[in-house]
Structure 1
Amino acid sequence: MKAVVTRVKSAAVRIDGKVNGAIEQGFLVLLGIGPEDDGETCAHLAEKIANVRVFSDEAGKMNRSIDQVGGSFLVISQFTLYADLKKRRPGFSHAAKPDLAEPLYEQFMQELRAKGFAVAHGEFGADMQVESINDGPVTLLFDTEEV
């Protein structure tokens, strides 16, 4: 799994012009799922993201996790994180097929909910417009093959 995680002041996703999900302070997570990913991978990544300390403490240092600031998640499925960029037109054969990816996308969000977080989301496979007010900006790349 790969995730681009941005610390945000707010974020929202629209589908057909209507807000499907929105959050205030927290993380916008663009989540890509590979063909080798499974439930264990989901749990591991959710744990890593939920516990990363990138929110400021009283001294202005990035020393707090999302739960310590009462933040929420907006999770968007993003198969393009597995793009093959060797040619001018990206290929997406390295991304998991929808029959594997969609249940793992749902499980990832459930892992976060089980930790007590509010989780807003897009719609798997939909054409979405995502907007965010980045905070910092702070953007992190998680890859379960590396973390």
Structure 2
Amino acid sequence: MQWVQQVDRWQNEHRPVAYDYGRIILGLFIFYKGLTFIADTSSLAQIIENSQFHWVALGLAHYVAFAHLVGGLLIAIGLITRVAIGFQIPILIGAVFFFNPDQGFFSVNAQFGISLITLIALIFYFVVGSGYYSVDHRFEVNERRLEEKKALRNNL
């Protein structure tokens, strides 16, 4: 935990803008994948038909769509970023390791690479945090200011 705090402190001191742009692009990409997942109803119906457990497949399809849409937006703006990424990682692990190419949902070669890169990026942002230009950071700054004001009032 101390290592994560050191990384956060370094990041706040140096403020790499490319880091925040990467988080925003990652969030918007995940949101886009959620939209395409919803829009491709024929492939979604085929996944549910090929499953032995129709209700489980239907529930997972709803989970993936909801997690991508809401989580993608939360990652893009940097609000509860680690929690949003925590909901994305199991989906991407399933896409990378357990995806069945016989279902015809995506072409295997292109989607495997994209899923793997997205998974690596999610793990990176999960460890390092949301960045300087994020709602999470603004909340932290406001919280510190409130604590400093309370400390000043207590000292008077």
TM-score range, shorter chain: under 0.3
Select the structure of larger CA radius of gyration: 2
Q: Which has the higher contact order (CA 8 A, sep 6+)?
A: 1
Between Structure 1 and Structure 2, the one with more helix by share is: 2
Between Structure 1 and Structure 2, the one with more strand by share is: 1
TM-score by length of 1: 0.25
TM-score by length of 2: 0.25
